[in-house]
Structure 1
Amino acid sequence: MTTTGLLSFDLDRIHSAPPERVWAAFTTADLLRRWVCPDPEWSVSSCEVDARSGGGYAIRFGPRPAGDEYCETATFSVYEPVTRLVLDVRTAGADMDETTSCTVLLRPVDTGTRLDLTVAGLSGEDVVESMRTGWQWCLEGIAEQLAPAA
């Protein structure tokens, strides 16, 4: 029997907001709700956050009228305010049931905050591409939410 090792990917982004605001995007339900589903044809039907070590979040989102195609639950296994967050995430729904580990590192830089994201534990190349695309959308959504008002 041949087994395939679990896969991962890394993304990074510089946000023009201080680390405290980027941290809040991951740990405040109202902000998380706004960027976690940036596809305009999708909706978030519920979003709850328990912002503490051992806490986490639960989100229901998707394209069905009730926005309940997928459920994503996460536990904050590492919770180091404004610097590091490790989430054990389960995404389950119509065509996916994946458990991953997401590490978010935040560092102040001259122009704001550098966000380094690692998503690990993915089961296949197709899942890597799907999750990478989703996280790229999400990082853009965070940027839009944190952009200064015009």
Structure 2
Amino acid sequence: MHDASLATISVDQFIPAPPARVWSSLTEPDLLARWWVPGDIRAVVGHRFHLQMPGWGPVACEVLEVEPPERLVYTFNTTWTLTWRLVAEGKGTRLLLEHSGFDLDDKRDRAAFERMGPGWRTMVLPRLAEVAAEAV
């Protein structure tokens, strides 16, 4: 594997809810399960947790960075990283997601990359927006 073959999915999603509410939706297990998957996440650097991914089973993760309510970074399996950035925008939040570390030379990674980009954009993050906006 060489770095030139690594790819990143970048998604920009406006959420009609304040950053604190979006942060809660990312970091509280009960809210996370409502828009994505069950997992024992905690916004604590070094916290190891699992996300229960359909078709994959439990995926090991580790929190790398926490800057509430602006930035959350964690590993997702052994090679991918999810970087969530929240920027206040008007009465809502601009959510910037980077899902990085896809090895496009690896058949399974390439297939995941091709599925997950559209999945984040059209299904997962719109559900996050709905859950975060419910409490507003």
TM-score by length of 2: 0.82
Partner of 2:129: 143
* Offset, 1:134: 2.9
In structure 1, C-alpha distance between the alignment counterparts of 2:51 and 2:134, rounded to whole Å: 26
* 1:50 pairs with 2:30: no
Where 1:140 maps in the other structure, the secondary structure is: helix
The change in CA–CA distance for 1:15 and 1:52 in structure 2 (over 3 A counts) is same
Report the number of matched residues: 129
Runs in 1 of length 4+ with deviation above 4 angstroms?
none
Alignment partners' CA distance in 2, 1:106 and 1:48: 21
Q: Taking every aligned residue pair, what percent have the same amino acid on both sides?
A: 30
Q: Give matches, 1:21-60, under 5 Å.
A: 21-37=21-37, 44=38, 47-60=39-52
- Higher RCO (C-alpha 8 Å, min separation 6): 2
Alignment RMSD, CA only?
A: 2.3
Higher strand share: 1
Q: For the residues of structure 2 that align with 1:59 and 1:126, how far apart are their CA atoms? A: 20
1:100 to 40, 60, 80: 80
Mind listing any 5+ residue stretches in structure 2 that lack a counterpart?
Answer: 105-109
Which has the larger displacement, 4-13 or 140-149?
140-149
Per the alignment, residue 80 of structure 1 pairs with 67
1:131 and 1:73 map into 2 onto residues whose CA distance is 18
One-letter code of the match for 2:76?
Answer: V
Q: Which residue of 2 aligns with 1:130?
A: 115
Of 81, 97, 118, 1:117 maps to 97
Structure 1 unaligned segments of length 5 or more: list them: 38-43, 64-68, 91-97
Structure number with the higher helix fraction is 2
